[in-house]
Amino acid sequence: MKNHLGQYECRLCLTLHTNEGSYLTHTQGKKHTTNLAKRAWEQQKNSNAGPAIAPGQITPKIAYRKFVKIGRPGYKVTKQLAKHAFGGHKQQSLLFQVDYPEIAEGITPRHRFMSAYEQRVEPPNKKFQYLLFAAEPYETVSFKVPSRDIDRSSDERFWTYWNSTTKQFFMQFHYKIDRGGGLAGGKVYDDDDENLTKAQRAQKDELKRMPEGAPDGPQRE
């Protein structure tokens, strides 16, 4: 292509040529043919991913689906202990069941963990974190749970399941033993155990209060 200075310019390779012969020689060279092949590959890749957009063209707006919120979903939280002990400890776990009977078509429930410093409803407390569940057109619900290391070592320790027939979302995770998965003192105590220390009783009382349900749980701003 000839520019305003009378020079021949290859915009693909970003080179300038003083005459037409030099430009034609360049177009037959290795650099130019390599760049042509590269551009053809990128165009093919973009065409597979979606419609190609010409240079300078305005990117089309994506139409997002809007939903009218219909309230909070029903839920059930179950606290459990593993059947088998590891080194004298039993792993604690939480099982969540969230009901979405009127979930929008084509929507799958999502979840994520939120740190205490992300939310703006309560003063941050590093001892706790928040587990959020979201699915349109329902409001996002959150649960306040202890901020401990979660065991993701296997599908039995951390799993989710969406039952599209009953419209129920299940999630269960276990806490690691080395960071509070078992109660303090190296063993699991029963409620009628008279040998509990003051710290152990405080921890048991804390576990009985956890998790806090969605009505009072924080939402991210």
**Inside any domain, residue 56:** no
The conformation of residue 32, written as its DSSP 8-state character, comes to H
- Are residues 128 and 206 both part of a single domain? yes
**Inside any domain, residue 142:** yes
Q: What is the DSSP string of 106-173?
A: T---EEEEEETTT-SSS---TTEEEEEEE-TTSPPEEEEEE---EE-SSTTTEEEEEETTTTEEEEEE
**Inside any domain, residue 64:** no
pLDDT of residue 200: 55
The 10s digit of each residue's pLDDT in 22-32 is 877 888 888 88
The 10s digit of each residue's pLDDT in 163-199 is 999 999 999 999 988 644 444 333 444 444 555 556 5
Mean pLDDT of 151-163: 91
Burial 7-18 (b: 16+ CB within 10 A, else e): ebbbeeeeeebe
**Inside any domain, residue 82:** yes
- Are residues 106 and 200 both part of a single domain? yes
- Are residues 41 and 81 both part of a single domain? no
Radius of gyration of the chain (CA): 30
- Are residues 37 and 122 both part of a single domain? no
- Are residues 202 and 118 both part of a single domain? yes
Whose structure tokens read 């760049």?
35
pLDDT of residue 91: 86
CA 64 → CA 61, 67, 132, 141, distances in Å?
9, 10, 22, 22
SS3 37: helix
CATH code, domain carrying 210: 2.60.40
Q: How confident is the model at residue 56 (pLDDT cuts 50, 70, 90)?
A: low
pLDDT of residue 50: 58
- Are residues 87 and 173 both part of a single domain? yes
**Inside any domain, residue 164:** yes
- Are residues 108 and 190 both part of a single domain? yes
**Inside any domain, residue 63:** no
**33: domain range?**
8-47
- Are residues 27 and 120 both part of a single domain? no
pLDDT of residue 217: 46
Q: How confident is the model at residue 44 (pLDDT cuts 50, 70, 90)?
A: confident
**Inside any domain, residue 67:** no
Q: What's the total number of domains in the chain? A: 2
Q: What is the DSSP string of 194-213?
A: TT--HHHHHHHHHHHHPSB-
- Are residues 21 and 100 both part of a single domain? no
What does the alpha-carbon distance between residue 6 and residue 213 come to, in Å, rounded to a whole number?
Answer: 74
- Are residues 128 and 178 both part of a single domain? yes
